Amino acid sequence: MTKSLSKNKVILELKNVVKTYISGNSQFNALDGVSLKIMEGEFVSITGPSGSGKSTLMHIIGLLDSPTSGEVLLENKDISQLKENQLAQIRNVTLGFVFQQFNLLARTSSLENVLLPLLYSDVPKKERNQKGLEMLTKVALEAKAANTPAQLSGGQQQRVAIARALVNNPKIILADEPTGNLDSKSGKEIIELFHYLNKKEERTIVLVTHDIELAKQANRIIIIKDGKISKE
């Protein structure tokens, strides 16, 4: 597989996306006509001050929310009109989420946390444990497979969360302030992990952060302000 070819393929495209929130009589456009393209194998960061609409953008990219108007194309298919069940399936197979709060299930082992997305997938039961352990090995936590989140450091917890995001072999990894709750050393390790996944496994990575310095780690930066893309 040649790198240049895959880099030219658009994996995600937003066309004039508007998201309007209505509270009482007042309307507010959190996204006001956003158009962007993300290529396969790209490492993109989306940044902007708080209230800029980057969270809303991330929710729409992550198929957690649907736009008021405009199109969202995932691998050239319009997904803005899909039903909730279909969206859930795409989130399960095509997307991997990494959150600021890790969002691991408490009192549940690392391995079981990693296996959680497989519960909602077609992966046969026999292959699941193997897959989970593989992912934990990838984030260098195979020794902590039986440990619960409470027994892990913040950085380790986030790596378990990354292993969970990877377990269904998604094309896109969506990370929302993944280092926000970590010390700088662990944060750096996480970013290195993203670089590794991007370069060696050619996964598309979308990193959402308010931290410009962190955003600069990506190959491309999209700055959003007042619901519009102000700079690429």
Partner 1 sequence: MLKPSINDLIKSSFRSILKNKGRTILTSLGIIIGVASVILLTSIGNGLQIYISQQFESLGANTVFLSPGKIFNDKGGFDSGTSNRFISTSFNLTDLSNLKRSVKNTTIVPVSISMVKIKSSKTTKTDVTVIGSSYQYATVSNYLPSSGNGRYFTKEEEDKKADVIVLGYGLANDLFPSGNALGKKIIVQSKNMKIIGILDKKGGSFGGPDVDQYAFTPIGNVFSFTGNQKINQMVIKTQAKEQVPQVKDEITKIMLKKYDKDAFTVFDSSQLLSSINSIIGILTIGLSGIAAISLIVGGIGIMNIMLVTVSERTKEIGLRKAIGAYPRAILIQFLIEAIILSSFGGAIGIAIGWLGSLGINNFFPAKVTLSSIMIAFSVSTLVGIVFGVVPARKASKLSPIEALRYE
Which positions touch partner 1 (CB under 8 A)? Answer: 59, 62, 64-65, 84-85, 88-89, 91-93, 97, 99, 101, 103, 105, 107-108, 116-117, 119-122, 164, 168
Of 80 and 217, which has the nearer Cβ to partner 1? 80
Of 65 and 189, nearer to partner 1 (C-beta) is 65
Residue (of 198, 226, 215, 192) closest to 54 by Cα position: 226
Alpha-carbon torsion (222, 44, 179, 57), positive or negative: positive
By beta-carbon proximity to partner 1, the closer residue of 148 and 219 is: 148
Minimum distance from residue 200 beta carbon to partner 1 (Å): 23
Q: Which is nearer to partner 1, 97 or 194 (CB)?
A: 97
Query: Toward partner 1, which CB reaches closer, 99 or 181?
Result: 99
3-class DSSP state of 194: helix
Tell me the closest approach of the beta carbon of residue 5 to partner 1, in angstroms: 29
Between the two ends of the chain, the Cα-to-Cα distance in Å is 28
Length of the chain: 232
What does each C-alpha distance from 126 to 122, 131, 133, 199 come to in angstroms? 12, 10, 13, 30
Instruction: Report the relative pairing of strands 220-225 and 43-47 from DSSP bridges.
Output: parallel
The nearest distance, CB 2 to partner 1, in angstroms, is 31
Q: Look-up: residue for tokens 């969270």?
A: 55
Report the nearest approach of partner 1 to the CB of residue 172 (Å).
Answer: 13
Question: CA 142 to CA 16: how far, in whole Å?
Answer: 44
**Shortest distance in whole angstroms from residue 58 CB to partner 1:** 10
